[in-house]
A and B are shown apart, each in its own frame.
Chain A
């Protein structure tokens, strides 16, 4: 699928080059943490955070759910490695790439655009770079990763990707700046 984009006062782009795996497991378990770390090479994220290393992202979704994002080219190797590392542990690992969509917002006013659509505190003190939060965008569930001060990743279900893309295009429409 083509990566659609829209240039408003913040740039919106779909990123279809990512695979996503869901890991359901007790994230407080040291065995689980060690297995994930050895297979991905990424530090294990604390509550409410993301960790990134060499293109692979680990996101803390809940006390028993971890989201693993990786470029498609690296996906199969990573999945095989994860399955081997988690062998024998009480986990569920599933490829959810086809169930999800990812968008990237970039520009100086990404926090404002996020604040228009999600009922969350977008102030840097409450949501610093590296933070990850599950929330809703207008009427649908989604997740947001504060990658850099001017770069945000948005994750949603693929079934609502058109709604979410349209929503963000609308929120970045030239002339709709709040700039408080």
Chain B
């Protein structure tokens, strides 16, 4: 069972109270963008075995969207953080580095 701490209401929420929102930190490409960028925005998703950054919603809870950094293979959670950011905060990156030195994901490391 995956348990994530919601950074808005502060409660430990189990998987059945959460709604999965897929990959985090997507950049939107809308009208005027190239076909390749638009296709990537719509369909190109990382599906790693290991470290991943995801969006989750505190569905049976405060209702807010937040971000989580976790390992898809072990379900180890490195941390959760608020969605009002374009990249994982330093505390989250440091927590991952402590457990997985030399990690990288998309453009982050």
Complex Cα distance, B10 from A63, in Å, reads 11
**Nearest CB in chain A to that of B1: its residue:** A119
Interface residues of B in 55-76 (CB under 8 A from A): 60-64
Task: Knowing A134-B62, A135-B61 are in contact, say whether A119-B9 is a contact too (CB < 8 A).
Answer: no
**Nearest CB in chain A to that of B3: its residue:** A119
Contact A121 B8 (CB under 8 A): no
**Nearest CB in chain B to that of A48: its residue:** B10
Interface residue A133 (Cβ < 8 Å from any Cβ of B): yes
Residues of chain B within 8 A of A47, CB atoms compared: 9-10
Contact A48 B61 (CB under 8 A): no
Partner of B17, one of A48, A63, A121, A136: A136
Partner of B64, one of A62, A135, A136: A62
Q: CB-defined interface of B5-17 with A at 8 Å, one 1/0 digit per residue?
A: 0001111101011
Contact A135 B60 (CB under 8 A): yes
A-B contact count (CB 8 A): 36
Interface residue A113 (Cβ < 8 Å from any Cβ of B): no
> What is the total number of residues of chain B having a CB less than 8 Å from a CB of chain A?
13
Residues of chain B within 8 A of A133, CB atoms compared: 11, 61
Complex Cα distance, B9 from A121, in Å, reads 15
Q: Is the interface of A mostly helix, strand, loop or mixed?
A: strand
**Nearest CB in chain B to that of A133: its residue:** B11
Complex Cα distance, B8 from A141, in Å, reads 18
Which range contains the number of A residues in contact with the other chain? 10 to 19
Interface residue A110 (Cβ < 8 Å from any Cβ of B): no
Complex Cα distance, B62 from A47, in Å, reads 11
Interface residue A10 (Cβ < 8 Å from any Cβ of B): no
Task: Knowing A136-B60, A141-B60 are in contact, say whether A62-B16 is a contact too (CB < 8 A).
Answer: no
**Nearest CB in chain B to that of A63: its residue:** B8
Interface residue A61 (Cβ < 8 Å from any Cβ of B): yes
Complex Cα distance, B64 from A61, in Å, reads 11
Contact B16 A119 (CB under 8 A): yes
Interface residues of A in 98-154 (CB under 8 A from B): 119-121, 133-136, 141
Partner of A135, one of B8, B10, B17, B63: B17
Top 3 A-B pairs, shortest CB-CB distance: A62-B62, A136-B60, A119-B14
**A residues touching B (Cβ–Cβ < 8 Å)?**
47-48, 61-63, 65, 119-121, 133-136, 141
CB-defined A-B contacts under 8 Å, sample of 11: A48-B9, A48-B10, A62-B8, A62-B9, A63-B8, A63-B62, A65-B62, A65-B63, A120-B11, A133-B61, A136-B60
Inter-chain pairs besides A61-B62, A62-B62, A119-B14, 15 sampled, C-beta below 8 Å? A47-B9, A47-B10, A62-B8, A62-B9, A62-B63, A62-B64, A63-B64, A65-B63, A119-B17, A133-B61, A134-B9, A134-B61, A135-B17, A135-B61, A136-B16
